[in-house]
C-alpha cells in the first residue's frame, strides 16, 4: 500500500491549530478553574489585595422570602453585657434565626453605646432595634415604703439570699413581669422569644417556632422548669388567691392549677417555668386578666417588700389564665442557662437535630425539676430513656 503523504503546508496548519487549542484551554483554566465554593460553582482562587488581605468569595445565606409571623427576639441588657451576650446571639442565629431572619429588640435602662449597636447588629440577620426604658418603669413606684423595702434588703443579705439586697434586680423582675411588652418597640409584634446573656441553644431548629405556636394554638413555651426559692415569694400565693377570689372570671376552664399546686390551690408548690427562656404570645400579657393581675401584684409591693421574680409571676399567670393545652414544652431544642442544661435524652431526637450537648447533664427529669410533673398532670408521653436521667 502506498504511504499517504501530508504536504508541509498542512503540517504547519495542523501544528498551529493544536497550539491554538492548547492556548485556549490554558486561558480557560487560568480564569475559571479554582477552588469550589459552597454554592457548587467554580470560583477563582483568592487574590491578594494591596492592603495585604486576601479577597475571597463569601457564602451568604439567601434572604428569607416566606411568610413570617409578627415576632421578635427581645433582650434586656446593659452595655457591659455585650461580650457575654454575643455568644448567645450567635447561638440563636446559627441554630435558628439565620433561616428566618426575625427582628431583635434590645432594651436598656441607659442609652446603648455605638459599640453595642454596631457589634450586635453585625450578628443579627433580622432588623435590630434599640430601646430606652422609661425612668418611671425602672425605679420605685411612688407608693413603695422605702424604709420597709430597705429593711427587706438588709435582712435578705443577712440571710444570704441571692440578689437579696439588689435594687436593680428588683427593678428587672418588675419590668420583665409586667412592663417590657408595653415598650413602644414591642407594639408591632404578636410574639416574642426572650434571650439572655450566657445562654446557648444546643440543637438545630429547622422550623419556624412562631408559626408553630400560632398554628397549634400555643400561647406559652418553655424549656426548663424548676422550683422557686420560697424565701423570696412568701406572700405571692396569698396575694394571688386574693386576686382570684375577686376575679374568678379570669380562670381558664381547663387551667393548669394542678401543676402549680398539690392541694387544689391551698398552697403553691413553687413550680415555675424558667423565664430566661420564653417563647410566648404577647396577647397573653396584654389580656385583661393579666393586666389586672399584674396591677394587683404591683400594688401589693412584693417586688420590693420581698423579691418576687418574673418567673413565678409569669408561670402562675400562664397556669391559671391559659388552658393547659396552650402551654408547650420545647423538648428538642436543647438549651443552657447557667447552671442548668436541657438536652434531649432520646438519642434519635438528639442526633437528628445535630445537638452538641451531653444527655448525662440534662436537668429536665431531675427531682428538682418540675417537668416530670408537667408531663404527668397533662397526660403527656415522656421521651425514651427519660428514667435513665432521673434521680
Catalytic residue among 278, 295, 306, 391: 278
Lowest mean pLDDT among 42-56, 145-159, 200-214: 42-56
3-state secondary structure 167-217: HHHHHHHHHHHHCHHHCHHHCCCCEEEECCCCCEECCCCCCCHHHHHHHCC
Residue 221: name the closest of 309, 293, 318, 316 by CA.
318
The strand pairing partners of 201, in sequence order, are 335
3 is catalytic: no
CB proximity list for 216: less than 8 A, separation 6 or greater: 328
Span 238-262, pLDDT tens digits: 999 999 999 999 999 999 999 999 9
CB-count burial class (<10 Å; 0-12, 13-18, 19+) for 167:
middle
pLDDT at site 46? 67
For the domain with range 71-329, which CATH number is right: 3.90.550.10, 3.40.50.12280, 1.10.10.10, 3.40.50.2300? Answer: 3.90.550.10
How much is the average pLDDT of 183-204? 98
Backbone angles phi, psi at 305, to 5 degrees: -80, -20
For residue 135, give the C-alpha cell.
425612668
Instruction: Yes or no: say if 307 and 170 are a contact pair by the CB < 8 Å rule.
Output: yes
Listed by start position, the domains of the chain span: 71-329
Cis peptide upstream of residue 339 (ω within 30 degrees of 0): yes
What span, in angstroms and rounded, lies between the C-alpha atoms of 53 and 297? 59
Q: Name the DSSP letter for residue 354.
A: T
What span, in angstroms and rounded, lies between the C-alpha atoms of 78 and 370? 31
Span 61-100, pLDDT tens digits: 788 889 999 999 999 999 999 999 999 999 999 999 999 9
Percent of the chain with pLDDT over 90: 83
pTM greater than 0.75: yes
| Residue 40: band (very low, low, confident or very high) from pLDDT cuts 50, 70, 90 | very low
pLDDT at site 24? 56
Residue 225: name the closest of 126, 331, 96 by CA.
331
Q: In what helix (H) or strand (E) does residue 288 lie, and over which residues does it extend? A: helix 288-300
Residue 194: name the closest of 290, 48, 92 by CA.
92
Span 254-305, pLDDT tens digits: 999 999 999 999 999 999 999 999 999 999 999 999 999 999 999 999 999 9
Amino acid at each position: 500500500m502506498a504511504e499517504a503523504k501530508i504536504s508541509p503546508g498542512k503540517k504547519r496548519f495542523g501544528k498551529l491549530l493544536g497550539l491554538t487549542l492548547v492556548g485556549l484551554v490554558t486561558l480557560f483554566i487560568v480564569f475559571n478553574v479554582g477552588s469550589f465554593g459552597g454554592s457548587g460553582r467554580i470560583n477563582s482562587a483568592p487574590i491578594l489585595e494591596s492592603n495585604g488581605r486576601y479577597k475571597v468569595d463569601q457564602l451568604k445565606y439567601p434572604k428569607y422570602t416566606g411568610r413570617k409571623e409578627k415576632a421578635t427576639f427581645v433582650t434586656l441588657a446593659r452595655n457591659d453585657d455585650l461580650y457575654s451576650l454575643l455568644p448567645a446571639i450567635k447561638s440563636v442565629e446559627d441554630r435558628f434565626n439565620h433561616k428566618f431572619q426575625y427582628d431583635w429588640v434590645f432594651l436598656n435602662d441607659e442609652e446603648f453605646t455605638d459599640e453595642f449597636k454596631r457589634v450586635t447588629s453585625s450578628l443579627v440577620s433580622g432588623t435590630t432595634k434599640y430601646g430606652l426604658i422609661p425612668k418611671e418603669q425602672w425605679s420605685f413606684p411612688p407608693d413603695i415604703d422605702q424604709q420597709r423595702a430597705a429593711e427587706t434588703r438588709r435582712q435578705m443579705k443577712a440571710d444570704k439570699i441571692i440578689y437579696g439586697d439588689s435594687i436593680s434586680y428588683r427593678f428587672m423582675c418588675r419590668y420583665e413581669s409586667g412592663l417590657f411588652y408595653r415598650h413602644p418597640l414591642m407594639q408591632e409584634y404578636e410574639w416574642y422569644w426572650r434571650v439572655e446573656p450566657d445562654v446557648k441553644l444546643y440543637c438545630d431548629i429547622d422550623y419556624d417556632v412562631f408559626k408553630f405556636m400560632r398554628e397549634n394554638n400555643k400561647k406559652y413555651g418553655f424549656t426548663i422548669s424548676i422550683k422557686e426559692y420560697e424565701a423570696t415569694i412568701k406572700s405571692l400565693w396569698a396575694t394571688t388567691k386574693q386576686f382570684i377570689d375577686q376575679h374568678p372570671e379570669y380562670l381558664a376552664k381547663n387551667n393548669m392549677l394542678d401543676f402549680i399546686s398539690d392541694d387544689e390551690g391551698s398552697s403553691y408548690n413553687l413550680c415555675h417555668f424558667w423565664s430566661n427562656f420564653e417563647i410566648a404570645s404577647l396577647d397573653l400579657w396584654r389580656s385583661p386578666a393579666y393586666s389586672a393581675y399584674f396591677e394587683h401584684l404591683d400594688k401589693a409591693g412584693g417586688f420590693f417588700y420581698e423579691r418576687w421574680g418574673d418567673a413565678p409571676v409569669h408561670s402562675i399567670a400562664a397556669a391559671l389564665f391559659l388552658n393547659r393545652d396552650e402551654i408547650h414544652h420545647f423538648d428538642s431544642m436543647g438549651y443552657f442557662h447557667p447552671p442548668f442544661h436541657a438536652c434531649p435524652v432520646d438519642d434519635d431526637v438528639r442526633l437528628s437535630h445535630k445537638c452538641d450537648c451531653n444527655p448525662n447533664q440534662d436537668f429536665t427529669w431531675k427531682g428538682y425539676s418540675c417537668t416530670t410533673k408537667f408531663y404527668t398532670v397533662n397526660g403527656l408521653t415522656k421521651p425514651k430513656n427519660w428514667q435513665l436521667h432521673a434521680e
